[in-house]
Amino acid sequence: MKIIDALRVANHEAVAIVGAGGKTSLMFALVEAAPKPVCLTTTTKLAREECQGDFNHSLFSEFEVDPAASLDGAKINLVTNPLDSSGQKWMGLSHSQAEQLIVYCKSSNILCLIEADGARHLSLKAPAAWEPVIPDQVDLVIVVVGLSVIGKPLNAETVFRPELFSNLTGLPIGAPIQLDHIVSMLNHPQGGLQGIPQKSRAAVVFNQADAYSLKPDELNLVQRTLRDHYSTAILTRLQIDSQRCEVILDSR
């Protein structure tokens, strides 16, 4: 099934992508599949090298002055703040700026995709108290996790903020990560559910399914334990096929 269809992403919606293990890849996969125009932004930072495609790039200051002129109706539109002091990352929008962008995109029937936290290119993370930064107008929050960490030890080389992950799941530092620990984190109000607006629907993307195949009992665990909080869960192999997925939970 196509990822964009499985996640039920609609043109007029705002979608926040959080977690680790393929956020940016998922965002660009959705960009590729979505009708144009589409708008991209972040509430954290975006690496300069990740934004080298055929984008119509505007700074928020330009968008604020003339939204219609800054967003090209036929293209992929990227809206950020200026580069940070390193010159390597585009600064993200503040909460109020992101809200302004979302309101305009919704009124113009433009899909707005927001990368709402960072993970330092690791495959799993636990959020700090101040993240993710998700505007209230977001319709869908997608939590990404990378399955390649299963069986690996919980440490700073495998998980972003391993101490927080340990606190949320009870898994000791250095112990092997299993799917039940990931599911426990996803269901925790200070884990995968943190920052998700009450009216937003939530989905999980288990990426890196080429690195680890879920066993029947693990699939059952996902279906049994995530349905109370997440409407959808899918398996993806974004580095191999950026458009197709396997749906493993659909609680519509």
Q: How confident is the model over 228-252, as pLDDT tens digits?
A: 999 999 999 999 999 999 999 998 7
pLDDT at 39 over 80: yes
Question: CATH: 1.25.40, 3.40.30, 1.10.15, 3.40.50. Which one for 3-250?
Answer: 3.40.50
Taking residues 62-78, report their average pLDDT: 90
pLDDT at 50 over 90: no
Whose tokens are 């990368």? That residue is 115
Question: Predicted confidence band at 51 (pLDDT cuts at 50, 70, 90)?
Answer: confident
pLDDT at 192 over 90: yes
Domain parsing of the chain, residue ranges: 3-250
Instruction: Decide if 7 contacts 140 (C-beta within 8 A).
Output: yes
Phi-psi group of 25: left, alpha or beta (phi > 0 → left; psi -120 to 50 → alpha; rest → beta): alpha
Rounded Cα gap, residues 226 and 180, in angstroms: 11
Taking residues 199-206, report their average pLDDT: 97
Q: Which residues pair with 241 in a beta bridge?
A: 237
Tokens read off for 180: 């039940």
